[in-house]
Structure 1
């Protein structure tokens, strides 16, 4: 072996030869069923409180200035619902949490532990279930099935399976 071969093996300017593996992303501990239930109830209470606050003020104002009760209904229920959806979407995009999940210190992630995008959360996890629930007879049964699936060993609901997400402790 000559000196040139030896220098090639010990070149100080060569890139490191040590293999580096990507760090695994941990999903965290799955959130308990009770925490998930309370978070859902808190979300419903927050929507109800916002609807009551904006709805009462908006409906009274709309009825005072316009005789159209449809406008009062839109202002009373549509505006608070849209405000709530925008707030929840902002929280989901920013932190993977809704108001209720933030209060219960849990969040939604992908099953590999990575952050779930807002598109995934809305387009795969939320909107399809809402649309199915609008179908008479089938909708309530689908909602019941979705919620009962939390009692599987994985603790994931049907909407979690569809979106490849899970709820973990934050």
Structure 2
């Protein structure tokens, strides 16, 4: 199965204080052509003090002429950790499919101990193929992923992450200091 215009799907995961959870999906999230409206997914993750979550769903596959909006909200208590991954593929080249046109919107808001520590708002469309073809955007690549880790150990993992990513991407560390 998959989602098309008008479909709504919600995930809500609450990890208690000191607990750990790894969450994934059983299959890729397929976003099909939309005749009207858009498909929407809402993800709400909450982690208690000293808890850890790994949100690792299978990739989202975007089909031509789809319309999709995803919102990810993550609230971490003091001392909580998170690893979040969202991967998106615009079409399936092996199947001769290409997501040339459509509307894709991905919005993340991550807070820790009540303070916003990460926010992003990615939109692409209506001419997806042309935008991905720009060298400053994706240089013709049709897949991308965002990986976010919030942890006091993140600096020790930066070089190994860069080794895995290779020359096609980058990894950065931002320190968030409460005043």
- TM-score (norm: length of structure 1): 0.25
TM-score when scaled to structure 2? 0.24
Structure with a larger share of its residues in strand: 2
| Structure with larger RCO (C-alpha < 8 A, sep 6+) | 1
Q: Max radius of gyration: which structure?
A: 1
